[in-house]
Chain A
Amino acid sequence: MTEPLPWLILLPLAWATATFLLGPGRGAWLAIAGIAVQCGLTFALAGQLLAEGPQPHAAGGWAPPLGIALAADGLAAVMLLLTQGVALLLALYARGYFAPGDQAARHFWPLAGFLLAGMNALFLAADLFNLYVTLELVGLAAVGLVASGGGAAQLGAALRYLFATLLGSGAYLLGVALVYGAYGTVSIELLLPLVDADVPRAVWFAAALMLAGLMLKTALFPFHFWLPPAHGGAPAPVSALLSALVVKASFYLILRLWLGPFAPLAAAIAWLPALLGSAAILWGSWRAIRAERLKLLVAWSTVAQLGYLFLIFPLIAAPGPALAAGVMQAVSHGLAKAAMFAAAGVVIHVTGRDTVAGVAGVAGRLPLTLFAFALAGVTLMGLPPSGGFLAKWLLIDAALAQGAWALAAVVIAGGLLAAVYVFRVLRQAFLDAPAVEAAHPAPPLLEWTAFALAAASVLLGLRGMELLRLLSVGSAG
């Protein structure tokens, strides 16, 4: 184990296959041990990056364009850290959440393992076609997780998600084919000097297709239609994995393409993602404020929070903290949203009801879970000292430095709207409720993992500088 990079892909593939061989519903501890080792590998990789700079790896020993290049830089390392950290806590949560013999748990561990392998492979890929394969790995594993053991409504949501994700990766693949037709290579490193503002129309078309396909997969407004039913209908650990991590994978790829090969083309349309992002913040928050079901409220909040990620694109060409703001938002939202779905899962497990009204009286019975939900809410609203605060601060800073007052106004309005839907749940929790006799007890493992995720999202603001230093390693800075 001299090099951590390839093991971050091979290890989850290995334990995912092993849990499949063990049989339905088994292998939880194997998975948790595997993810724990992945955490260690990611820290080792981050240490290598800080000491030695970006880490390239030529798969098969063949240099591109013949072979496939893998590469780790600061941006990849930050996303890997987020993924392994959230996955470890959610794996512990899932171990407690699924009762033995639960239909939804039959295929959870292999699918989650392949999902993590796909995410890690995506973050480390530096080859457009290899990225397509990792997108399919992530997309199909995610659809399988949503569909597992569900009723008709959940299957319907999974099918809609499948169509959206296949359409997105299909558009991406068509774009890759056009790029290959134009330049004869799919290596990002080799494409960088070839693409300039004066490219053939086919490359413009390819860039538009690839970015639109990835926006569909990231559920950017108006492509968000598939997200609330899929994320709101799945079991809580699955919702948390999807909302916290999976949508960030396609955002990461948009960022890579935007900063990398498509940078000369992207400047012309930079306002478009910001406009859609603003619409996502307003519409997602509004639907979260109006939602009747608790998990749908959290899912609509994801639609809104993803909007912030796209506000950075008009600002990113000029030097400034725009990239740092986007990545900080991705990380803090990942932690907070995992915590919020985990806490919602505990509430629904205990009260047996997935409605905002059903939260009544939870303050007395589940103080720790409610505290976790509130801390996650602090991050989503962007109150200090949370990671969300740091992200929004950096974003407003970058916007004002470039005179983009409208973007700063959207950020502030979005924070206020988040406060409305978070306080709507908290207010309900403190209401008196008739005692419920049939309430299930709350397993401490579930409550504490939700709390740990929420606490991490808030404390991230205090350790943000270390993360930003890691981010600046390599070209992305």
Chain B
Amino acid sequence: MKRLAVSLGAALFAALLGAALLELGPPAATLAPLVAGTLAQSGVTHPVTAVLLNFRGYDTLLEIAVLLIALIGLTAVARRGEAPAATAAVEPVLTTLARLAAPLMVLVAVYLLWAGAFRPGGAFQAGAVLAAAAVLLHLTRLLPAWATPGTWLRAGLAGGFLLFLAIAAALLAEGALLKYPPAQAGLLILAIESGLTVSLGLILAGLFLFLSEERR
């Protein structure tokens, strides 16, 4: 009965939403020409990176803070007990392949970071690939699960955000939050994205590795 009511409610909601969307014409204004017109002053040539790191860089700053508190909240509730010892051994083929794949994934991450300036890529994608490498190594028992983060791990987790924050504060001298001088914009964005790649990789990996029960 309850399930039926929820399903009916969801269906009604979807129908209303669909009807509202169908009625909607093209928007009165679109931002694409504006972004294209100002791209030259942004320091990068890819519009997505320009929006994320320059035009709406302040949003991105706060989004990194959201990811960081998600991780802090998770370490606050993660169980700190003795985990059961690993039982079954991992297939040797899997281990060998993981050993081969991990360095390549790091290479891909660096490429994605560098490519973000002029084609799809950037810190979020590069960080996600780094985190995937860490998860892969963990699943093949080459990397143990993480317990309470120590000083170095905390510095790695927060370092990228701290660098971003420091640059945002320093740029207040230009007259506004995160207002890059056009000549240095490209370099500053690369510095921010490099820091974020490392920290996002660690944060995303941490979301998995702090919760994992398998320790070696």
The residue in chain A whose Cβ has the minimal distance to the Cβ of B168 is A10
Beyond A57-B177, A60-B179, A155-B77, whether A20 also contacts B72 by CB under 8 A is: yes
Contact call A62/B20, Cβ cutoff below 8 A = no
Decide if A137 is an interface residue (CB 8 Å cutoff).
yes
Q: Is the CB of A107 within 8 A of B179?
A: no
A194 adjacent to chain B (CB < 8 Å): yes
Main secondary structure of the interface of B (DSSP, over half): helix
Judging by beta carbons under 8 Å apart, are B169 and A61 in contact?
no
Closest B residue by C-beta to A6: B177
Q: Is the CB of A137 within 8 A of B20?
A: no
Q: Does B90 contact A (CB under 8 A)?
A: no
Complex Cα spacing A14 to B172, Å: 15
CB pair B179–A184 under 8 Å, yes or no, is no
Contact indicator B165/A17 (Cβ below 8 Å): yes
Question: In the complex the two chains form, is B72's CB within 8 Å of A137's CB?
Answer: no
Q: Is the CB of B179 within 8 A of A143?
A: no
What are the residues of chain B within 8 A of A133 when measuring CB–CB?
59, 62-63, 66
B35's contact among A61, A66, A129, by CB below 8 Å, is which?
A66
* Segment touching B, from A74-82, A200-208, A224-232, A311-319: A200-208
One of A175-183, A387-395, A439-447 at the interface? A175-183
Closest to A70 in B: B177
Q: Please give the number of chain B residues whose Cβ is less than 8 angstroms from any Cβ of chain A in the complex.
A: 54
Q: How far is the CA of A111 from the CA of B169 in the complex (A)?
A: 21
Nearest chain B CB to A217 CB, angstrom units = 16
Mark A133-162 against chain B: 1 for CB-CB distance below 8 A, else 0.
110110011011001110000010010000
Encoded as 1 (CB less than 8 Å from any A CB) or 0, chain B from 1 to 39 comes to: 000000000000000110111011101111100110010
Chain B proximity of A163: nearest CB distance (Å): 14
A-B contact count (CB 8 A): 164
Is A40 part of the contact surface with B, judged by Cβ < 8 Å? no
Contact yes or no, B30 A66, CB < 8 A: no
A68 touches B27 (CB 8 A): no
Query: In whole angstroms, what is the CA distance A173 to B185 when docked?
Result: 30
Given known contacts A129-B59, A133-B62, A111 and B73 CB-to-CB distance under 8 angstroms: yes
Check if A170 is an interface residue, CB within 8 A of chain B. Answer: no
Instruction: Give, as a whole number of angstroms, the nearest-CB distance from A408 to chain B.
Output: 36
Cβ-based interface call for A366 (8 A):
no
Given A21-B158, A147-B77, A10:B176 Cβ within 8 A? no
Q: Does A386 contact B (CB under 8 A)?
A: no
With beta carbons under 8 angstroms apart, the residue of A65, A70, A140 that contacts B34 is A65
Alpha-carbon gap, A387 to B28, bound state (A): 46
Partner of A148, one of B25, B66, B77: B77
| B66 CB contacts on chain A under 8 angstroms | 133, 136-137, 140
In the bound complex, residues from chain B placing their C-beta under 8 Å from that of A21 are 151, 154-155, 158, 162
Complex: A178 Cα to B20 Cα, angstroms: 9
B163 CB, nearest partner CB in chain A, Å: 11
Query: 25 A-B contacts, Cβ less than 8 Å apart?
Result: A10-B172, A17-B161, A21-B155, A59-B58, A59-B176, A59-B177, A61-B179, A65-B29, A65-B34, A67-B56, A110-B69, A110-B72, A114-B65, A130-B58, A134-B62, A143-B73, A144-B73, A147-B73, A149-B76, A183-B28, A183-B29, A184-B27, A184-B29, A202-B23, A204-B20
Interface residues of chain A, those whose CB is within 8 Å of chain B, are 3, 6-7, 9-10, 13-14, 17, 20-21, 23-24, 57-62, 65-68, 70, 106-107, 110-111, 114, 117-118, 121, 129-130, 133-134, 136-137, 140-141, 143-144, 147-149, 155, 158, 178, 180-185, 194, 200-202, 204-205
